[in-house]
Chains A and B, each alone.
Chain A
Amino acid sequence: MEYLLKNGYVVDPVNKIDCERMDIAVKDGKIVESVDESKAKVIDVKNMLVMPGGVDLHSHIAGSKVNVGRLFRPEDHYKDYEVKSGVRRSGVGHSVPSVFTTGYRYAILGYTTVFEPATPPLKTLHTHDELNDIPIIDKACFPLFGNNWFVMESIRDDKLEECAAYVAWLMRTIKGYAIKVVDPGGVEAWKWGITSQDFDQEIPRFGITPRELVRGLVKVNKMLGLPHPVHLHCNQLGIPGNYKTTLKTMDAVKDLAAGDRPILHITHVQFNAYGGVDYLSLSSHADDIADYVNKNPHVTIDIGQVIFGDTTTMTADGPFEYKLFNLLRGKWANSDVEVETGAGVVPITYSRSNYVHAVMWCIGLELALLIKDPWRVFITTDHPNGGPFTEYPRVFSWLMSKKARERVLKRIPRLARVRTNLKDIDREYTFYELAISTRAATAKILGLNNKGHLGVGADADIAVYNINPKEVNPSTDYKLVRQAFSRAYLTMKDGEIIVKDGEIVAAPVGRTYWVNTRAPKDVEDVVIPEVKKRFKEYYTVEFENYCVPESYLAWSAPIQPLEPSGE
């Protein structure tokens, strides 16, 4: 099938194209130099914005804790439902949508790649079971390593090569994509009922600190040549004063950086940028974090923006969720996973008139606006922790328009305005920067060379938005921005039309990416039998049954690791 998208204003930062009138040619699922106009289907996208399909590197869409969220929140679903029609299967929203609805709603936003950022290895067959059912988008999942017994023991014993071999084995066995670390050591501590873990404090009964753990894994990541840096959710999430931990964490691996490839990605930093000593004195230290990121190219971040309204928090950070439960005294789900990690789920309603929520809202935007390099700061809501992904267009409008921000700032408590910097920031994102932060840069940091751009050879994942960048001033017409990005005029995936004028017209299967990691054979030959032995002692499943066969994935898309860079 050949297509020609004519006359659109193309924004393609990887290829340095900024709102230029250009035609995009598509053939056999790829972007090509040109097509025969007489044979191809011509789609006139005059005066519209043409971007690569969105790439979301951090969104909780599949797996055990997401399903717990769905299960225990029928009230989240019963007023937001989708009727079966045409190719669309029925489903429900709102903050924890069912799987079909998840795929459709992302495609309608013009997103074509979404990664699940946290999966407990033992339960990853479940994660893939759900990912298989999410239509349209390409996806992957990040296995959790930050509270894993094998990892902690090998780092404690200074056996980094063995740690790397274990991580390699695990990554390819359960079909994961990147090393995810959540509250390093903290979840293990929580399994003994301890709810706080300091970055430089020894993890109970394991004899190493989170600092050593994180450093070890960053080294392992380099050794294995994984395409994405270590993806880290810091200790002390949600706690006033935690910005210091975030700074310490980023600085802890600075010496391990080589060249200009970032080696650490800190996720949903908004939750980790707090000053103050308690919630009453909560303040923003986004400026300190931004300052550090501006000066240090070895880190990237995503913001984790808060949206006012009802949503569901869910994370592997079990102890944090327990603390949140004690504050809110509503519902609480917790699931510690043997040997590896944990999870917690707590519903929340972010309220404009609540001082703490208002400060949180400011912080996310401050981070995005104060960090100068859009290639290193990505727009997320940590769906659904900050808010549902369907609200991304609202976040875009806040970033692109000071007026839009002021409208909200007017209605938050005065003290929240005073203790944050947002009101003084004039910067407004351009379409170009938006495209970087939501597509080009995220694809790049994930190591997806065929995504996030519209150059020849790229996957034909394209989003067209009905907004004229030459006529619309996003600074004043932010409502138009929000509307346009809420329903793509056209979404194309692998050269097939998925969304036409905001409606789903096709729902093909998407890829599941995973990295086929290997460690040197002689090391694996020592480590894997050792792991097998420990399985009997530690786990309650057989070593043999731990594997997720490649055939399990609906569309398996293995990626080879990069050339490993030396220690």
Chain B
Amino acid sequence: MKIKVPPQTPVEGEVLTPDNLAGRSINEILNLETFRGNRRVKLSELFTVEGESASNPSDLHLILEGDLRKVRHIGARMSAGKITINGPVGTFVGFEMSGGTIVVNGDADAFVGMGMSGGVIEVNGNAGDAVGSGYWGTRCGMRGGLIVVKGNVGAEVGLWMKGGTIRVGGNADVFTGVRMQGGTIFVAGNVGAKLGAAMVDGKIVVLGTVPNILPSFYIDEIRSNTKVDGDKIQGPFYVFYGDITEGGNGKLFISVEKNQHLKYREAYLL
């Protein structure tokens, strides 16, 4: 499906999932309604559609093309199948998804994978704030599945995360892994301040630099390597545990080589 004209007002993309489109003919799909701003519009008004649908969601591959920066909630609650987005995409990609795969060949906005419980999201670009977080007030972020961002992510990646894995190819901003309750975050690049704040469980691995470690994390040991989802990652790593103020059992694996300014913490090794 190719977007005809990038919309000026936000388009509701919830309808764009294999679950919703499976078992419908192209004509039926064109007649499905969604919102552009407060107007009800048919998909035919927004998109041109080619190809064929499938009867089973797991067999359906939806390819979206164009500037989709103002299309929100694409892939919401999807349970199977694949969506490939060729272009920049709007907020809440993969909102509360439980299965299937979403690939974004471009930049994603904020709230990628909010409330996710399963499936895979791959962003071959940058992503915005709060990747893998949860709806406000739920105190529960991503529970399962895999999110991979090749580029950078914004602040608060993995906020309230309970399970699953987030891999970041580039850098992450402040509060990476804040309020984490489980799962794994892997950052190949640098992270911002307040890493792992208020974490109670889970694991964060950082190959790049971290400006400081909160006073509520104690150094545990120096490890030569670690594993992320079975993949061996070469260290050596400073291993910190915390957040002490939450009675936490979370672990931070910080590259020794890139973080010599943390060397003074070695004095506190038992």
A330 to B136, CA, bound (A): 14
Q: Count contacts on B: residues with CB < 8 A to the other chain.
A: 5
**Chain B residues in 8 Å Cβ range of A331:** 137, 139
A186 to B190, CA, bound (A): 53
Q: Are A78 and B139 in contact (CB under 8 A)?
A: no
Chain A residue, CB-CB nearest to B134: A75
Mask for A43-81, Cβ within 8 A of B = 1, else 0?
000000000000000000000000000001111101000
| Residue of B136, B137, B138, B139 with highest tally of chain A CB at under 10 A | B137
Q: Give chain A interface residues in 84-102, CB to chain B under 8 Å.
A: none
**Chain A residues in 8 Å Cβ range of B136:** 74-75
Mask for B6-17, Cβ within 8 A of A = 1, else 0?
000000000000
Q: Give chain B interface residues in 89-127, CB to chain A under 8 Å.
A: none
Q: Give chain A interface residues in 393-451, CB to chain B under 8 Å.
A: none
A76 to B137, CA, bound (A): 8
A330 to B137, CA, bound (A): 11
**Chain B residues in 8 Å Cβ range of A73:** 137
User: How far in angstroms is the closest Cβ of chain B from A387?
Assistant: 19
Chain A residue, CB-CB nearest to B137: A75
Chain A residue, CB-CB nearest to B138: A75
Mask for B163-193, Cβ within 8 A of A = 1, else 0?
0000000000000000000000000000000
Chain B residue, CB-CB nearest to A77: B137
A78 to B135, CA, bound (A): 9
User: How far in angstroms is the closest Cβ of chain B from A73?
Assistant: 6
**Chain A residues in 8 Å Cβ range of B137:** 72-76, 331
Q: Are B135 and A330 in contact (CB under 8 A)?
A: no
Q: Give chain B interface residues in 128-165, CB to chain A under 8 Å.
A: 135-139
Mask for A230-247, Cβ within 8 A of B = 1, else 0?
000000000000000000
User: How far in angstroms is the closest Cβ of chain B from A255?
Assistant: 49
| Residue of A75, A330, A331 with highest tally of chain B CB at under 10 A | A75
A73 to B137, CA, bound (A): 6
A377 to B3, CA, bound (A): 63
User: How far in angstroms is the closest Cβ of chain A from B195?
Assistant: 24
A78 to B139, CA, bound (A): 14
Chain B residue, CB-CB nearest to A71: B137
Mask for A325-367, Cβ within 8 A of B = 1, else 0?
0000011000000000000000000000000000000000000
A74 to B137, CA, bound (A): 6
Mask for B57-90, Cβ within 8 A of A = 1, else 0?
0000000000000000000000000000000000
User: How far in angstroms is the closest Cβ of chain A from B176?
Assistant: 24
A426 to B139, CA, bound (A): 43
**Chain A residues in 8 Å Cβ range of B138:** 75
**Chain B residues in 8 Å Cβ range of A78:** 135
Q: Give chain B interface residues in 11-70, CB to chain A under 8 Å.
A: none
**Chain A residues in 8 Å Cβ range of B139:** 330-331
Q: Give chain A interface residues in 502-540, CB to chain B under 8 Å.
A: none
**Chain A residues in 8 Å Cβ range of B135:** 74-75, 78
User: How far in angstroms is the closest Cβ of chain A from B232?
Assistant: 37
A78 to B95, CA, bound (A): 13
User: How far in angstroms is the closest Cβ of chain A from B137?
Assistant: 4
User: How far in angstroms is the closest Cβ of chain B from A76?
Assistant: 7
User: How far in angstroms is the closest Cβ of chain A from B198?
Assistant: 13
Chain B residue, CB-CB nearest to A330: B139
Chain B residue, CB-CB nearest to A347: B137
A134 to B137, CA, bound (A): 25
A306 to B138, CA, bound (A): 22
A72 to B138, CA, bound (A): 10
User: How far in angstroms is the closest Cβ of chain B from A524?
Assistant: 47
A73 to B135, CA, bound (A): 11
**Chain B residues in 8 Å Cβ range of A76:** 137
The interface of chain B, by Cβ under 8 A from chain A, is 135-139
Instruction: Give me 14 A-to-B residue pairs in the complex whose CB atoms sit less than 8 angstroms apart, sorted by A's number.
Output: A72-B137, A73-B137, A74-B135, A74-B136, A74-B137, A75-B135, A75-B136, A75-B137, A75-B138, A76-B137, A78-B135, A330-B139, A331-B137, A331-B139
Q: A75-B135, A330-B139, A331-B139 are in contact. List 4 more A-B contacts (CB 8 A).
A: A74-B136, A75-B136, A75-B137, A75-B138
User: Which 3 interchain pairs have the tightest Cβ spacing?
Assistant: A75-B137, A74-B137, A75-B138
